[in-house]
């Protein structure tokens, strides 16, 4: 058992790893970045529209949303996750002392079981939520076409 000669293809692993990383960086990362920038613009839009109707988002007033991370990151406000619960339970959440000042519920999309369907159906607690019209002057291809914003109107 003598010395083992060097492997003539030992360079192949690092070369393929480098080639794969380069391909990923050049081909995939820009698309991911573009998608993130588009999502950021979409989630910044509710803050702009709310300011336009005289209801600006304020840092001391938490917002409840089914996309809490995006709202928190783009609007720089505390955001609570919208539970899969009817309006009465969400109203109870908004009334908790730890979340004092919660006045808005932002719901994106129509896949949520209770929102906005329970509001439209008049479920218990629905009377404490008023939808804010954010579509005035919106473009035909409105990025917020599937977004509903409700104001908590019961103390």
* Mean pLDDT, residues 99-120: 89
Mean pLDDT across the chain: 85
- Most trustworthy range by pLDDT among 25-39, 42-56, 94-108: 94-108
Tokens 């979340």 correspond to what residue? 99
- Separation CA 151–CA 105 (nearest Å): 6
Cα diameter, the chain: 86
Digit-coded pLDDT (tens) for 80-96: 999 999 999 999 999 99
Query: Has residue 63 got a pLDDT over 90?
Result: yes
Eight-state DSSP code of residue 132:
-
Contact of 62 with 99, CB cutoff 8 Å: yes
Encode 128-144: b = buried (16+ Cβ within 10 Å), e = exposed: bbeebebeeeeeeeeeb
Q: How confident is the model at residue 127 (pLDDT cuts 50, 70, 90)?
A: very high
Q: What is the pLDDT of residue 105?
A: 94
Q: What is the pLDDT of residue 1?
A: 57
Query: Has residue 8 got a pLDDT over 90?
Result: no
Write down how long the chain is.
Answer: 155
Q: What is the pLDDT of residue 35?
A: 66
* Mean pLDDT, residues 114-133: 93
């Amino acid at each position: 058992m003598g010395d083992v000669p060097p492997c003539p293809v030992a360079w192949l692993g690092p070369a393929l790893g480098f080639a794969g990383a380069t391909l990923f960086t050049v081909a995939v990362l820009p698309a991911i970045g573009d998608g993130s920038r588009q999502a950021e613009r979409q989630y910044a839009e509710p803050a702009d529209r709310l300011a336009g109707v005289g209801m600006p988002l304020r840092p001391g007033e938490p917002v409840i949303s089914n996309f809490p991370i995006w709202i928190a990151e783009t609007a720089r406000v505390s955001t609570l996750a919208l539970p899969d619960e009817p309006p009465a339970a969400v109203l109870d959440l908004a009334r908790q002392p730890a979340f004092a000042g919660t006045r808005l519920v932002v719901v994106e999309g129509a896949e949520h079981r209770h929102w906005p369907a329970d509001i439209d159906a008049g479920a218990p607690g629905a009377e404490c939520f008023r939808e804010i019209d954010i579509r005035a002057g919106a473009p035909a291809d409105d990025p917020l076409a599937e977004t509903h914003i409700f104001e908590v109107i019961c103390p």
